[in-house]
Amino acid sequence: MRDTIGREITYLRISLTDLCNLRCVYCMPPEGVRKQEHRAILSFEEIEEIARAAVSMGVRKIRLTGGEPLVRRGMLSLCRGLREIPGVEELTLTTNGLLLPEMAEPLKAAGVDRINVSLDTLDPDKYRKITRIGSLDQVLAGIRAARDAGLTPLKLNCVLIGGFNDDEIPALAALTRDEPVEVRFIELMPIGHAVPFGPEAYLPCETVLERLPRLERAGQDGGVAERYRLPGAAGTIGLIRPLSRCFCRQCNRIRLTADGCLKPCLHSREELPLRGLHGEQLRAQLERAILHKPEQHAELSARSRSQAARDMNQIGG
């Protein structure tokens, strides 16, 4: 289905939980978040019903996110259910990677096509600092497990944070030299726990182009990333610039929160509750959400915050 300015909505992001086994400083409070009552979050049956309705209206790609999607118990059975929906062309997920050593193969067997793993630094001390509790070795083992299980092409999400990881741009980009991975540099967005960060933290992706002058254009990725390549490299570099180059005109996504609200736009306050709706009523509410998708969100910058009413762990990126 198309929205009011002709964007075809083909991509549904589903947050499975607000909970996470990390506490990234830009995303979560140090103490984590309180576990919601089981009935406060959508059951797998409810998620599947909503996904089926969305697919019947033109969604072809589904991404599971969170919080950390791999910590939701039984999520493999949800993956199998989503995979069986006729019309789903791609089932993916975004994960911090910690649980991949044991879950990569089962995820592949459950029908997940490929995954994005978040990796902001290659330095074990800095990894601990940014995630507060994580171990870099564990993520690297998870990335290897994902590659071995065939959850490829792998994408590695790196949030650029001035003064924290800009010195690692060349080292992170070098991961693409021999392996067909995509390292995606993402501009830090002023949402939730990132809002109090100082202006120096909000680095534009232009910095990547300055630090890597030999990068060559490799086209768009069909989504929101601009794609580049180091000369002769097996993999690619993606730049995602929500602040410095607004991509609202290309936005083809809608988002489902773990408690059953549909967000037409990541950075808008607007949410439409879907819980309790079935059949035509559910489809009508989805249609309403798509038609309510704002043409563009308010400007984002180091000094103007997102208008989203939730933290990032409650939306899923």
* Residue 23 sits in the site that holds ligand SF4 (CB under 6 A): yes
Residue 282: which H helix or E strand, with range? helix 279-291
User: Interface residues for ligand SF4 in 80-99 (CB under 6 A)?
Assistant: 96
Q: Which is nearer to ligand SAM, 5 or 195 (CB)?
A: 195
Q: How far is the CB of 86 from ligand SAM (least distance, A)?
A: 27
Nearest-angstrom CA–CA distance, 54 and 277:
13
Q: Per-residue contact track with ligand SAM, 131 to 170, x per CB under 6 A? A: --------------------------x-x-----------
Query: How far is CA 55 from its chain centroid?
Result: 19
Contact range with ligand SAM by CB under 6 A, out of 20-28, 99-107, 230-238, 292-300? 20-28
Nearest-angstrom CA–CA distance, 109 and 178:
27
Nearest-angstrom CA–CA distance, 82 and 65:
14
* Residue 315 sits in the site that holds ligand SF4 (CB under 6 A): no
Structure tokens at 85: 């929906």
Nearest-angstrom CA–CA distance, 44 and 6:
31
Burial grade of 4 (CB within 10 A; 0-12, 13-18, 19 or more):
exposed
Contact range with ligand SAM by CB under 6 A, out of 90-98, 143-151, 228-236, 271-279? 90-98
- List, in order, residues 6 or more apart from 136 with CB less than 8 Å away: 121, 122, 123, 124, 127, 128
One of 61, 66, 113, 168 touching ligand SF4 (CB under 6 A): 66
One of 91, 313, 314, 315 touching ligand SF4 (CB under 6 A): 313
Structure tokens at 8: 């075809």
Q: Under rule CB under 6 A, how many of the chain's residues touch ligand SF4?
A: 13
* Residue 268 sits in the site that holds ligand SAM (CB under 6 A): no
Structure tokens at 249: 């005109």
| Among ligand SF4, ligand SAM, none, residue 23 binds (CB under 5-8 Å by kind) | ligand SF4
Which residue's Cβ has the minimum distance to ligand SAM?
Answer: 317
Binding stretches for ligand SF4 (CB under 6 A): 20, 22-24, 27-28, 66-68, 96, 118, 312-313
